[in-house]
């Protein structure tokens, strides 16, 4: 059980609870090792006790931890404490995009497009690391206090969807792709569909498909035409409308094929929103909408009904009371329809009594004609069951074939099989000499040896996990690459298939991306924060901190009034540009709290207890305080200091010059009396902005 003040992993101190969700609680914590605030997501008990889920959850979270991007809530660590599973993440102070939309009703086209660009860049980074989110929605997108957009929960949705019945199904189904609704294969283009729905909601303040049940909403994603955001907001530009519609095509092949294509169109739309440049495929019935088949309806119904009506030891039942009420209403409705019929009184077309087992539990989204099918429905179920058996048999056959292929490949790599030719006595094999690293024994591999796996092209985190699993250590070397995605492996030494001793080191060359090129900083002065951020992204730069300040120009109130690099400065691509936001005309005030030490720090002639005058002034010469004292240090606490961020401390004091004797030219002894000499020292101090 997590308690405030406890330590996790001898490193993370729990400070306060800041949120809760269907599967976890989130706490603010302090990382004592790196001295920074973090967020710790702690799995709830029912999930932590599911070993299968925990295994997949940790694997997905560890993969996500290999990503670092400014538009992703980065995962720092994954751990376990006393049976409790937790993830350590970047702490983002702000609100979810969902709450932001609710707060503003709907977003302006510019703001929505700017947010979509940043979300797309975060998703692109994940896709480049072979991670698909599978649950893109406004609830999983954060808007920080300084205007940065960050996507959270990467990799976690996969573990959840494959192992548990989640309590947030109703929230996610509004953004699910048609292929996910059918329960089919989902890939990068599923994330693009969900982002399109999210973009639609930012523009209109509503989701495109709604319904009383999750099944009803899922079916709409599959077969109903996607409405245009212009149906609800007439001033949505043509390019923005087309981007939304292309993202949300029913067929994945008609959507954007990757995030870069989408980002390019979003950036162009930001600059020229009224130009119709988005390329959509020629519409046809398959690409736009089609009637869902009986089998597909059964599949969708069964998938969602299982989610809503059944609960095992690892799952959360969804809307139990509502489901009970809904079943009661449907029973009542059926009785009403039966009594008002043409004398059949609950009988089907054949006149037989309709007492099909479980018919009282059928959802109300299935029409009356389907409820009356009786034997026809039973026939469909038999066909469906037969199809399931065939599918299972085919899957087993495919698994056997894949297994044989893998055995053949591994056997060939280890020298067990040779499919090229039979070696005669005169045949020779050239073996590359890799000193101190590689065993060149061409015989059988011993238990202390291993064939190096192929990791080129993998993300660094995935490659490390693959090599560590085989008992190999990793040394990282960074190289620039114009062809390999940043963070992925460019080369490995030893090469794949070479047999080496376990615990040996494999050197991985990891891409740092293309060689940095210079870009010019745009003028941000006078722009609102979102427009400034979008312009920086457009120019290949990153938005840094946005600090609030006052500015004498009232026209800049609510606008950017300062940028850390001047306009047209040539900087490396990706440079972070900090900005200041004017909060209005006003005087900036400062304060000074400090202790003034004795002059003896600088002057050894000063005697403790000697009276001195301490004067504090601004650097512009305005006197703030004067005090005469013989006791040091002198404490000062001054606030409301205007128009100056630093000051000068002057200390005026006297020292006694001891008397002495000397002899004049005639040999007479002359006494020189002691004297008091006035001296002064100065020190510079910094003030604190109030």
23-52 pLDDT per residue, tens: 778 999 999 988 889 999 888 877 777 777
**Cβ-contact 141, 96 below 8 angstroms:** yes
**Cβ-contact 24, 41 below 8 angstroms:** yes
Q: How far apart are CA 626 and CA 452, in angstroms?
A: 76
Mean pLDDT, the chain, rounded, equals 77
Residue 395's pLDDT is 63
User: Which of 166-175, 207-216, 399-408, 571-580 is predicted with the least confidence, judged by mean pLDDT?
Assistant: 166-175
Over the stretch 507-531, which tens digit does the pLDDT of each residue have?
898 888 765 567 889 999 999 888 8
**Cβ-contact 82, 74 below 8 angstroms:** no
Q: How far apart are CA 500 and CA 445, in angstroms?
A: 9
Q: How far apart are CA 297 and CA 363, in angstroms?
A: 12
Question: Does position 537 have pLDDT exceeding 60, yes or no?
Answer: yes
Strongest mean pLDDT among 93-97, 379-383, 587-591 = 93-97
Question: Does position 485 have pLDDT exceeding 50, yes or no?
Answer: yes
Q: How far apart are CA 589 and CA 264, in angstroms?
A: 45
Q: Give 323's pLDDT tier (boundaries 50, 70, 90).
A: very low
User: Which of 125-134, 149-158, 224-233, 390-399 is predicted with the least confidence, judged by mean pLDDT?
Assistant: 390-399
Residue 60's pLDDT is 66
Q: How far apart are CA 214 and CA 304, in angstroms?
A: 7
Question: Does position 233 have pLDDT exceeding 80, yes or no?
Answer: yes
User: Which of 64-78, 219-233, 429-443, 492-506 is predicted with the least confidence, judged by mean pLDDT?
Assistant: 429-443
What is each CA distance from 533 to 72, 149, 528, 539, in whole angstroms? 16, 10, 9, 10
Q: How far apart are CA 688 and CA 12, in angstroms?
A: 31
**Cβ-contact 76, 88 below 8 angstroms:** yes
Residue 131's pLDDT is 86
- Can you tell me the mean pLDDT for 550-563? 88
Q: How far apart are CA 17 and CA 25, in angstroms?
A: 8
* Tokens coding 457: 């092209």
Residue 568: Cβ within 10 Å count: 9
Q: How far apart are CA 375 and CA 286, in angstroms?
A: 31
Q: How far apart are CA 338 and CA 673, in angstroms?
A: 127
Residue 303's pLDDT is 54
User: Which of 288-297, 558-567, 625-634, 642-651 is predicted with the least confidence, judged by mean pLDDT?
Assistant: 288-297
Residue 647: Cβ within 10 Å count: 24
Q: How far apart are CA 401 and CA 391, in angstroms?
A: 15
The backbone region for 62, taken as left when phi is positive above 0, alpha when psi lies in -120 to 50, beta otherwise, is: alpha
User: Which of 80-84, 125-129, 398-402, 525-529 is predicted with the least confidence, judged by mean pLDDT?
Assistant: 398-402
Query: DSSP character for 20?
Result: E
Query: DSSP character for 484?
Result: S
**Cβ-contact 134, 190 below 8 angstroms:** yes
Q: How far apart are CA 527 and CA 59, in angstroms?
A: 43
Q: Give 117's pLDDT tier (boundaries 50, 70, 90).
A: very high
User: Which of 417-426, 469-478, 517-526 is predicted with the least confidence, judged by mean pLDDT?
Assistant: 417-426
CA 126 to chain centre: 9
* Tokens coding 339: 């009594």
CA 477 to chain centre: 26
Q: How far apart are CA 273 and CA 238, in angstroms?
A: 7
Query: DSSP character for 21?
Result: -
Question: Does position 171 have pLDDT exceeding 60, yes or no?
Answer: no
CB-based burial, 87-108: b 16+ in 10 Å, e otherwise: bbbbbbebebbbebbeeeebbe
**Cβ-contact 652, 682 below 8 angstroms:** no
- Can you tell me the mean pLDDT for 265-285? 81
Strongest mean pLDDT among 318-332, 427-441, 495-509 = 495-509
Question: DSSP strand E in 134-215: where?
Answer: 141-144, 149-151
Residue 381's pLDDT is 44
Over the stretch 655-680, which tens digit does the pLDDT of each residue have?
988 888 888 888 888 888 888 889 99
Residue 394's pLDDT is 66
Q: How far apart are CA 111 and CA 97, in angstroms?
A: 12
- Is pTM beyond 0.95 here? no
Out of 10, 31, 77, 135, the active site residue is 135
Q: Give 399's pLDDT tier (boundaries 50, 70, 90).
A: low
* Tokens coding 31: 């990382």
Residue 441: Cβ within 10 Å count: 11
Burial-class residue 241 by CB neighbours within 10 Å (0-12, 13-18, 19+): buried
**Cβ-contact 17, 43 below 8 angstroms:** no
Over the stretch 184-218, which tens digit does the pLDDT of each residue have?
678 899 999 999 999 999 999 999 999 888 888 98
Choose between 646 and 406: higher pLDDT: 646
Choose between 73 and 297: higher pLDDT: 73
Residue 267's closest CA among 278, 257, 258?
278
Q: Is 153 one of the catalytic residues?
A: no
User: Which of 340-354, 382-396, 572-586 is predicted with the least confidence, judged by mean pLDDT?
Assistant: 340-354
Q: How far apart are CA 159 and CA 52, in angstroms?
A: 9
Q: How far apart are CA 613 and CA 599, in angstroms?
A: 11
Q: Which residues contact 81 (CB under 8 A, 6 or more apart)?
A: 8, 9
Residue 405's pLDDT is 62
User: Which of 136-150, 480-494, 509-523 is predicted with the least confidence, judged by mean pLDDT?
Assistant: 509-523
**Cβ-contact 200, 273 below 8 angstroms:** no
Q: Which residues pair with 649 in a beta bridge?
A: 616, 683
Query: DSSP character for 275?
Result: S
Residue 11's pLDDT is 92
What is each CA distance from 629 to 24, 256, 601, 639, 678, in whole angstroms? 60, 76, 16, 22, 15
User: Which of 53-57, 541-545, 592-596 is predicted with the least confidence, judged by mean pLDDT?
Assistant: 53-57
Residue 638's closest CA among 603, 580, 592?
592
Query: DSSP character for 453?
Result: P
**Cβ-contact 474, 412 below 8 angstroms:** no
Strongest mean pLDDT among 47-61, 278-292, 341-355, 532-546 = 532-546
Residue 676's pLDDT is 87
**R_g (Cα) of the chain, nearest Å:** 36
- Can you tell me the mean pLDDT for 390-413? 63
Residue 540's pLDDT is 81
* Tokens coding 497: 């298939």
Q: Is the dihedral of CA 250, 252, 257, 258 positive or negative?
A: positive
Q: Give 353's pLDDT tier (boundaries 50, 70, 90).
A: very low
Residue 163's pLDDT is 44
Residue 615's closest CA among 606, 624, 607?
624
Residue 509's pLDDT is 87
Q: Give 376's pLDDT tier (boundaries 50, 70, 90).
A: very low
3 state DSSP class of 213:
coil
Over the stretch 55-83, which tens digit does the pLDDT of each residue have?
767 776 777 776 788 899 988 888 888 88
């Amino acid at each position: 059980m997590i308690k405030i003040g406890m330590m996790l992993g001898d490193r993370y101190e729990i400070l306060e609870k800041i949120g809760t969700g269907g599967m976890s609680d989130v706490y603010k914590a302090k990382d004592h090792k790196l001295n920074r605030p973090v967020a710790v997501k702690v799995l709830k008990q029912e999930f932590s006790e599911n070993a299968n889920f925990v295994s997949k959850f940790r694997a997905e979270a560890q993969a996500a931890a290999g990503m670092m991007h400014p538009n992703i809530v980065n995962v720092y660590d994954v751990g376990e404490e006393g049976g409790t599973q937790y993830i350590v993440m970047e702490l983002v102070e702000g609100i979810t995009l969902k709450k932001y939309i609710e707060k503003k009703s709907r977003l302006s086209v510019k703001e929505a497009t700017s947010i979509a660009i940043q979300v797309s860049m975060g998703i692109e980074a994940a896709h480049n690391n072979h991670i698909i989110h599978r649950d893109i929605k406004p609830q999983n997108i954060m808007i920080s206090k300084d205007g940065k957009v960050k996507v959270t929960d990467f990799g976690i949705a996969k573990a959840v969807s494959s192992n548990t019945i989640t309590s947030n199904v109703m929230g996610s189904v509004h953004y699910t792709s048609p292929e996910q609704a059918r329960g089919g294969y989902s890939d990068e283009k599923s994330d693009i569909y969900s982002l399109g729905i999210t973009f639609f909601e930012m523009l209109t303040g509503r989701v495109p498909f709604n319904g009383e049940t999750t099944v009803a909403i899922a079916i709409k994603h599959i077969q109903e035409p996607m409405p245009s955001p212009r149906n609800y907001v007439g001033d949505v530009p043509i390019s923005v409308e087309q981007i939304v519609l292309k993202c949300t095509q029913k067929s994945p092949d008609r959507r954007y094929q990757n995030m870069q294509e989408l980002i390019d169109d979003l950036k162009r739309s930001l600059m020229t929103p009224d130009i119709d440049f988005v390329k959509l495929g020629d519409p046809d019935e398959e690409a736009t909408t089609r009637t869902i088949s009986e089998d597909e309806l059964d599949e969708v119904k069964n998938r969602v009904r299982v989610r809503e009506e059944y609960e095992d030891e690892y799952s959360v039942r969804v809307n139990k009371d509502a489901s009970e009420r809904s079943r009661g209403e449907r029973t009542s409705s059926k009785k009403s329809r039966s009594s008002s019929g043409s004398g059949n009184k609950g009988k089907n077309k054949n006149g037989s009594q309709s007492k099909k087992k479980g018919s009282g539990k059928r959802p109300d989204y299935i029409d009356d004609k389907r409820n009356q099918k009786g034997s026809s429905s039973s026939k469909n179920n038999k066909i469906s069951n037969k199809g399931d058996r065939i599918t299972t048999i085919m899957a087993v056959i495919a698994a056997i074939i894949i297994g044989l292929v893998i055995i053949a490949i591994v056997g060939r790599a280890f020298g067990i099989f040779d499919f090229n030719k039979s070696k005669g006595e005169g045949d020779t094999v050239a073996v590359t000499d890799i000193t101190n690293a590689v065993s060149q024994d061409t015989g059988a591999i011993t238990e202390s040896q291993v064939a190096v796996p192929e990791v080129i092209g993998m993300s660094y985190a995935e490659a490390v996990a693959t090599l560590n699993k085989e008992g190999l250590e990793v040394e990282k070397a960074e190289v620039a690459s114009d062809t390999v995605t940043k963070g992925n492996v460019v080369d490995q030494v030893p090469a794949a298939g070479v047999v080496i001793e376990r615990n040996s080191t494999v050197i991985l060359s990891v891409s740092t991306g293309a060689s940095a090129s210079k870009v010019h900083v745009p003028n941000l002065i006078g722009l609102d924060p979102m427009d400034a951020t979008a312009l920086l992204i457009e120019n290949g730069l990153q938005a840094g901190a946005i600090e609030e300040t006052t500015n004498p120009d009232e026209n800049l109130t609510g606008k950017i009034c300062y940028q850390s690099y001047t306009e047209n400065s040539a900087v490396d691509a990706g440079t972070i540009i900090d900005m200041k936001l004017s909060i209005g005309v006003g005087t900036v005030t400062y304060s000074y709290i400090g202790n003034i030490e004795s002059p003896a720090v600088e002057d050894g002639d000063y005697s403790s207890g000697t009276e001195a005058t301490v004067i504090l002034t601004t650097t512009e010469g305005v006197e703030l305080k004067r005090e005469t004292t013989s006791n040091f240090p002198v404490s000062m606490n001054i606030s409301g200091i205007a128009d100056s961020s630093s000051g000068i401390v002057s200390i005026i004091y006297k020292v006694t010059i001891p008397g002495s004797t000397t002899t004049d030219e005639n040999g007479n002894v002359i006494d020189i009396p002691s004297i008091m000499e006035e001296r002064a020292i100065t020190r510079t101090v910094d003030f604190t902005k109030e």
